[in-house]
Structure 1
Amino acid sequence: MPELPEVEVTRMGITPHVVGQTVTKIVIRNSRLRWPIPDAIKNIEGQVIRNVVRRAKYLLLETDIGYAIVHLGMSGSLRILPAGAVVEKHDHVDVVLASGEILRYNDPRRFGAWLWQQAGENHSVLDKMGPEPLSDDFNSDYLVAKATGKRKAIKLLIMDNHVVVGVGNIYANESLFAAGIDPQCPAGKVSSQKLQLLVSEIKAVLKKAIAQGGTTLKDFKNADGKPGYFAQELQVYGKGGQPCPRCGEVLIEIKLGQRATVFCANCQH
């Protein structure tokens, strides 16, 4: 499933091709995604795309009259293709640009979404979200305040979009390992010093993943079709039963909040 770095890499990849371009046509081959694609999405026809913004794992194609909101779901991708590119089985949406290029959305599992937000309004899917993890609003004072008195496991806290957006399972595992924190520890029991370190490690891990093009596990490919390479840098995610890269002890894998959680009992406490 594409997480924040993959979505950010996609944003960076498509932006030079779409910003400043007029949308000449929207082609919808299959409107049955996670939610039905609203007819209003065609309002973007004839509009100039002013910017591409990421909010959490959503991409917003901004125009003067509103925004097309895109979520990649579990298997979605956005690619820039030349006019006349062969249509593949799961190519559900095309944004045809005046340049002759196409922004094409492919989604085999159809858990993604295309939504419409009128200018000046706020779509419900974007309501009540926490700060972006790479922003100044996500800092140690903020996380300490959110963790104080909480019995919720620290891993589940940092994966809660109401607390901070976009820290998905892969990056939560990696950040907690880097900070030496047991993912099962109640958030309120983690020291302020450890929480300060955790904020720094979340930012560092996400920045590194973005710089390396994201993490390719099963479905993700970035906007130019090349896979991300951060998977080669993973320290613990997907490595349960293998030696800890720090101390050599066997990495433990458990389910926490129904998600695979890998940690070193010796290094994370």
Structure 2
Amino acid sequence: MQFGPWDVQIVSGGTFRLDGGAMFGTVPKVVWNKLYPADEENQILMATNCLLIRGEAGGKKHVVLVDNGNGDKESDDFMARFKFQGRGVLDANLAKHGVKPEDITLCILTHLHFDHAGGSTRLGADGKPVPSFPHARYVVQAKDLADAKHPHLRVKASYLPQNWEPLEAAGLLETVDGIAELLPGISVRPAPGHIEGLQNVIVEGGGKRLVYLADLIPTARHIQPAWCMGYDLDVVTCVNERQKLLDEVTGTDTVCVFEHDPEFPAGTVSRDAKGKYVVAPVQV
């Protein structure tokens, strides 16, 4: 899909599975299981819908990747626990678009949790993690990097140092503080609630607009504002931020990308006759 000078495509970083109850928090299973059926271990299928953005700005060609999934450097036990799709998935899917890891010039990370930033590094020849995209600058909110370095016990298991420490050591990791335009028409803005340092990514051009929601609204099945995750640190803030976002996009042509939804990765939002939010799928 074209947004002014930017060609935007969703590229899968692979699937995995998480506990359905954790993903829907206080929503009863009898409700969410009808929309999102769980397997025999109560896990539901999760996507890692990354964004590939290509175009020219300032006389230069840019290849931008937004988030990069779980990566493939973790142990077999770790991958089995979350039922990862397999190794090398993101590289293979980028290759389908003619993109190699060294072609990426900018990697925007919505946050540093392992299912969003795990693909930032890979194992080098010596078995130690190295940057996956050696010619890219990686951008994250300063608050999230600070929290990754000194994580609260509640989220410590999601911040794996091997996903960001090699980037910092290589001088590739940059931070922003709040709203920032990274390239003309490509910006980030804070979206706290899930964690304090979460950021959304916005692409605008040619009269069109896209919002990459990350874990603010992880799937189209979480479109009702109160349907928060058990993983969300500040539920009240999360609900308020969701409502603000929905007030902004509902009834418009804004394309919303749901990072973890394997069936409905993108869509526009409206309300039905009963006033509930609904998503109309859009191909990106």
TM-score, with structure 2 as normaliser: 0.24
TM-score, with structure 1 as normaliser: 0.25
Would you tell me which structure has more strand in proportion to its own residues?
2
Larger radius of gyration, structure 1 or 2?
1
